[in-house]
Amino acid sequence: MSSTVKRDWRGRTLEKVRRLIKQADPDVVEEVKWAKATRPGIPVWSHGGIICTGESYKNSVKLTFAKGASLEDPTALFNASLEGNTRRAIDIHEGDSIDAAALKNLFRAAVALNQKHTKKTSATRPKASTKPALLAGGNPQIAKADGDAPVQAYIAAMPGWKRDAGRRLDALIVRTVPNVRKAVRWNSPFYGIDGQGWFLNFHCFTKYVKVAFFRGTSLRPIPPGASKHKDVRYIDIHENDLDEAQMAKWIGQAAVLPGWEP
């Protein structure tokens, strides 16, 4: 049977699972994959590899843990796919209670297992330079990745006064939008809201740091920098001229607008 996310008890169950995953691991990456014309995609949660997927069936919601057979399960949450050598699953039926504490512990164990595997794999590879290259305009070259760590790596590599500007921007965004999602895309830090898209990014140029608001024309006052994209507006930050009060107002407005998805 095709899996699909329903807006009934199954949808509510998946939403509760999603909240528990975010509580267990704030840096988890949530995506929807394997969409087809005949069915929507399947929610997938990852950190250092896939943690689990969430599928809706007629009579159950199935959480399939990619490496479930290697996880400790002291409360016996796994009740499906028990015969496999790799995966294990939890079938949740209508009316079933969810042991939130046990499920969060299982999520954390899955993340720890992924990270252990990543460290073991990395140890066998030749060590590369830990200092990112600087591209045109002194912009750090950071690989595409999700979470706070790659953003902090980008900021740490920003040259000169721009590093302090990057730190102030990042701290201001987190203070203004505590549930912000972070990532590095196209050698730029991106900030957004889960399920809502990206609302801002910034990028190093030779003489300034350019902040892009993807729905900038909807902000008040409208940021001064025009763009060839009708919705986007920019603000260029030069040395010692970051207006934190105005920037916080723009960030707060931008975070509640529909974001941009590439």
Domains of the chain, by residue range, sit at: 9-123, 136-255
Do 79 and 90 meet the contact criterion of CB atoms below 8 Å apart? yes
Do 77 and 103 meet the contact criterion of CB atoms below 8 Å apart? yes
Q: Of 46, 48, 56, 54, which Cα lies nearest the Cα of 22?
A: 46
Q: What is the tens place of the pLDDT at every residue in 22-77?
A: 999 999 998 888 776 666 788 999 998 999 999 999 999 999 999 999 999 999 99
Judge whether 9-123 and 136-255 match in fold: yes
The total of other beta-carbon atoms located within 10 Å of residue 145's CB is 15
Most confident of 8-12, 103-107, 127-131: 103-107
CATH topology classification for 136-255: Aspartate Aminotransferase, domain 1 (3.90.1150)
Q: What is the tens place of the pLDDT at every residue in 227-249?
A: 999 999 999 999 999 999 999 99
Rounded CA-CA distance 182/195 in Å is: 13
CATH number of 9-123: 3.90.1150.200
Q: What is the tens place of the pLDDT at every residue in 10-35?
A: 999 999 999 999 999 999 998 888 77
